[in-house]
Amino acid sequence: MSEFGKITPGMVKELRKIVGENGVIYEEREALDNYSRDESGGDYYAHMPDVVVKPENAEQISKILKFANQERIPITPRGAGSGLAGAAVPIYGGIVISMEKMNAILEIDKTNLVAVVEPGVVTNDLCRRVAEDGLYYAGYPMSVETSFVGGNVATNAGGSKVIKYGNTAHHVLGIEVVLPNGEIVQFGGKRRKDSSGYDITRLFVGSEGTLGIFTKIFLNLIPLPGKTVDLLVPFKDIYTAISNVGPLITESRMLPSAVEFIDDTSVVLGSKYNNITLPFQEKAGSYLIIQYEGPDKEELESVYAKAGKALIDGGAMDVFIADNRTNSEKIWRMRRNWLEGIKAFEPHTPTGDVVLPTSEIPKIMDYISKISREYKVQIPVAGHAADGNLHPAPMKPKEMELNEWKVLSEEILSKIAMEAAKLGGAVSGEHGIGFLKKDLLKETKTKQYEIMKELKAFFDPNGIMNPGKLF
């Protein structure tokens, strides 16, 4: 990629003219370092940008891209940097465009049930704001308190509520994008239906900053559920837990908004980190955390009564119901803080993100146990049981050198991802490909990869947009 242009002090002067003195970071090592990494697991994945710019509107981004396209300067768009695949790491240096100043909720349209936001809005800020109007934004990654809506759209983020509400793609009605040549265009908008031609909005969702930069996002809103109830269900092993997912959904006559699972290793680490002891902790091999959202208490009571019966019939050790905030928070803290809990014991813990049919979860869990024994590496696993999305998290053995661990952990996660693909799955369910999984993408999706490359060349012929990601 030596064909890329180099940032010069003269170019930085131009960038300062576009976004102002306070919108540029240059030659400040410590400040630049904050933009050199995401949450993908190791310092060894970091790469310094030459310059960071913080635009405030689409017009400024348009000017930056026109200039970068002309000079062939690599551009890395950046949301909150919470990604787990290295997608926001500027591996070729160049310009990082941070969306942090574009954080306005532009409109809550209560007639059309649409929110129009800038990409730098923290997802939970949007959830809280629309709740004030009795509305609900159902895109809900576990990183909801830190990640940006733009980052969620660019990675097609999932989370715990996909079984009921779908992943981020399901909530995006339209986007305004700045293309690499600086053109500002809008695809979709406030309309709910559109069968006129190819769905270009969807093409941009999950594009990981490789096709253009979102500057405005139109999101679907639904009514805020009146009541939520959570169930914590211990099982003797993962097989029994997973065999319950289908019957639970059928028998309860309502789609749960979440069916999460955590394995025994995760529970041991998580309970220490969160200072919580779960019931049956000594005996349970796996837990399901189930959530129902509905209009009122009465309806939910009848749903969780049916669900509870189905779970006990299916071999659950017990069913614990949390229908108040304090108890729900205890249950969810364990799951939401799962990764932080593990990283508190071993910071060099990368996270896999395989997805496969739910029925195949026991097979991949057996495979993960085999790999764990073979490599003598602890691999706690948590995931979204109802949509078959698992996060194996190999933990660096204490005595191992970082360089050795980088190679070994990549090998472990690749093997697990390839096995998932063999079982009818894919190498990423929600975190995206970034640069860490691009070989796996190429190997598992040959024709799709070819088509994607052609689309990339069409939108970004000079290859300036987030180079080295996906391809």
Ligand X SMILES: Cc1cc2nc3c(=O)[nH]c(=O)nc-3n(C[C@H](O)[C@H](O)[C@H](O)COP(=O)(O)OP(=O)(O)OC[C@H]3O[C@@H](n4cnc5c(N)ncnc54)[C@H](O)[C@@H]3O)c2cc1C
Please identify, using beta-carbon distances, which residue of 311 and 460 lies nearer to ligand X.
460
Question: Least distance in Å: CB of 165 to ligand X?
Answer: 13
Among 55, 74, 83, 352, binds ligand X (CB under 6 A): 83
- Region of 15-23, 151-159, 313-321, 360-368 interacting with ligand X (CB under 6 A): 151-159
**Strand 75-78 relative to strand 95-98: parallel, antiparallel, unpaired?**
parallel
Residues in contact with 79: Cβ distance below 8 Å, sequence separation at least 6, in sequence order: 88, 99, 119, 120, 147, 148, 150, 151, 152, 154
Residue 152, interface with ligand X (CB under 6 A)? yes
- Region of 49-57, 73-81, 286-294, 316-324 interacting with ligand X (CB under 6 A): 73-81
* Rounded Cα distance, 408 and 394, in Å: 10
- Region of 145-153, 247-255, 256-264, 371-379 interacting with ligand X (CB under 6 A): 145-153
Question: Least distance in Å: CB of 155 to ligand X?
Answer: 4
Residue 371, interface with ligand X (CB under 6 A)? no
Among 115, 126, 213, 386, binds ligand X (CB under 6 A): 213
- Region of 7-15, 79-87, 239-247, 402-410 interacting with ligand X (CB under 6 A): 79-87
- Region of 6-14, 76-84, 406-414, 456-464 interacting with ligand X (CB under 6 A): 76-84
- Region of 144-152, 242-250, 292-300, 444-452 interacting with ligand X (CB under 6 A): 144-152
Residue 151, interface with ligand X (CB under 6 A)? yes
- Applying CB under 6 A, what is the total number of residues that bind ligand X? 37
Residue 383, interface with ligand X (CB under 6 A)? no
CA 301 to chain CA mean position, Å:
32
- Ranges within 93-112 binding ligand X (CB under 6 A): 99
Residue 84, interface with ligand X (CB under 6 A)? yes
Among 42, 93, 119, 394, binds ligand X (CB under 6 A): 119
Among 42, 55, 74, 209, binds ligand X (CB under 6 A): 209
Among 37, 54, 63, 78, binds ligand X (CB under 6 A): 78
Among 64, 68, 87, 221, binds ligand X (CB under 6 A): 87
9 phi and psi angles, rounded to 5 deg: -55, -30
Residue 147, interface with ligand X (CB under 6 A)? yes
Residue 150, interface with ligand X (CB under 6 A)? yes
- Identify the CA nearest to 52 among candidates 33, 80, 70: 33
Please identify, using beta-carbon distances, which residue of 300 and 382 lies nearer to ligand X.
382
Residue 82, interface with ligand X (CB under 6 A)? yes
Binding mask 33-52 for ligand X (x = CB under 6 A): -----xx-------------
**CA distances, 207 to each of 30, 152, 177, 327, 381 (Å):** 29, 11, 12, 38, 27
Please identify, using beta-carbon distances, which residue of 84 and 289 lies nearer to ligand X.
84
Residue 437, interface with ligand X (CB under 6 A)? no
Q: Which residue is nearest to ligand X (CB)?
A: 151
Among 35, 214, 273, 367, binds ligand X (CB under 6 A): 214
Residues that bind ligand X (CB under 6 A): 38-39, 76-84, 87-88, 99, 119, 141-143, 147-148, 150-152, 154-155, 157-159, 208-209, 213-214, 339, 430-431, 466, 469
